[in-house]
């Protein structure tokens, strides 16, 4: 018979690696030669072992459950992302065919917020969008569309750009519509934004508006093969005298606008692709009326 410590060690080993004998119950027996205190301690250790095993199993089950949830979440998010991409592509197609229905579809599908700022960002980014459709939407006279137009212009930074550079940036983001009233609204908004970014360049937004039209028409005339009478720098300067609230703009500003406008084929490309001859006549008439009214 061994010492008490040897018996305890033997019992602890049996506790760690119990051996179930044939014909005996699965529960490990308590040696008879242990004192009551030792037997109680051994029983306590065995109970603690069962508790630890249960805790380990619970942790294992929880880990498996969390792992499964994470895997399912990844699959779910991937499916949602794919579904969102498909809906967005469908929304862009709808917008290109009918801009009002397209925007409504995107809002109803929770792909766009029903705010002028969110829609303006969508149009400004322009991914997959037809520039003619963008221009038509921005030019609508509905109050909400006008708010979108101004929010759209706020995304453009014109600070320290000359007028032609700002026009080029603006017209690159969409295509001017053929309807004269839409063009009027859009150029009014452009003039307001340009003057806000460049205070002091013009005495009023009206002056910026008239000169912007003049630059576009100059560029259109110069790069349109159907126009035979090409205006010179001197003629352009003379045509725009008195537009600065009755006074003249600085000669250098007019010459720079004329010279840079002559080199910007892009401005003309928007006009030539957008307007047929009838619409161009209406456009010219609108410019003349606006200019006359502002000079008066």
3-state class (DSSP) for residue 247: strand
Q: Which residues pair with 158 in a beta bridge?
A: none
CB-based contact 163:195 (threshold 8 Å): no
Q: Which of 37, 62, 65, 179 is catalytic?
A: 179
Q: Is 179 a catalytic residue?
A: yes
| Of residues 274, 70, 245, the one with CA closest to residue 171 | 274
Q: Is 90 exposed, middle or buried (0-12, 13-18, 19+ CB in 10 A)?
A: middle
Neighbours of 287 (CB within 10 A): 21
Alpha-carbon distance 90 to 139, whole Å? Answer: 23
Token pair 């161009």 is found at: 280
| Of residues 115, 176, 178, the one with CA closest to residue 150 | 115
| Of residues 229, 217, 222, 161, the one with CA closest to residue 193 | 161
CB-based contact 164:215 (threshold 8 Å): yes
Torsion of CA 145, 172, 181, 199, to 10 degrees: 80
Tokens of 285: 């008439």
Q: Which residues contact 191 (CB under 8 A, 6 or more apart)?
A: 205, 206, 208, 209, 212
Q: Which residues contact 248 (CB under 8 A, 6 or more apart)?
A: 241, 242
Please give the positions annotated as active site.
179
């Amino acid at each position: 018979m061994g010492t008490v410590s040897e018996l305890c060690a033997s019992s602890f080993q049996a506790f760690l690696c119990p051996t179930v004998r044939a014909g005996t119950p699965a529960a490990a027996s308590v040696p008879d030669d242990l004192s009551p205190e030792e037997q109680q301690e051994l029983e306590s250790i065995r109970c603690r072992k069962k508790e630890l095993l249960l805790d380990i199993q619970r942790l294992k089950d929880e880990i498996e459950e969390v792992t499964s949830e994470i895997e399912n979440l990844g699959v779910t998010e991937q499916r949602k992302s794919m579904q969102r991409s498909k809906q967005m592509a469908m929304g862009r197609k709808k917008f290109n065919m009918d801009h009002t229905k397209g925007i409504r579809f995107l809002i109803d599908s929770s792909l766009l917020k029903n705010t002028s700022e969110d829609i303006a960002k969508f149009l400004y980014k322009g991914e997959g969008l037809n520039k003619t459709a963008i221009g038509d939407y921005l030019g609508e006279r509905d109050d909400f569309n006008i708010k979108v137009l101004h929010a759209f212009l706020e995304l453009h930074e014109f600070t320290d750009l000359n007028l032609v550079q700002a026009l080029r940036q603006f017209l690159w983001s969409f295509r001017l519509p053929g309807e004269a009233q839409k063009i009027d609204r859009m150029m009014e908004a452009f003039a307001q934004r340009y003057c806000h970014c460049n205070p002091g360049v013009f005495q009023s937004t009206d002056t910026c508006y008239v000169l912007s039209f003049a630059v576009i028409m100059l560029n259109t005339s110069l790069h349109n093969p159907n126009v035979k009478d090409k205006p010179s720098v001197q003629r352009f300067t003379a045509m725009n005298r008195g537009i600065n609230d009755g006074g003249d703009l600085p000669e250098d500003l007019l010459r720079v606008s004329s010279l840079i406008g002559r080199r910007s084929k892009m401005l003309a490309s928007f006009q030539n692709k957008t307007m047929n001859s009838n619409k161009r006549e209406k456009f010219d008439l609108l410019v003349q009326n606006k200019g006359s009214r502002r000079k008066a």
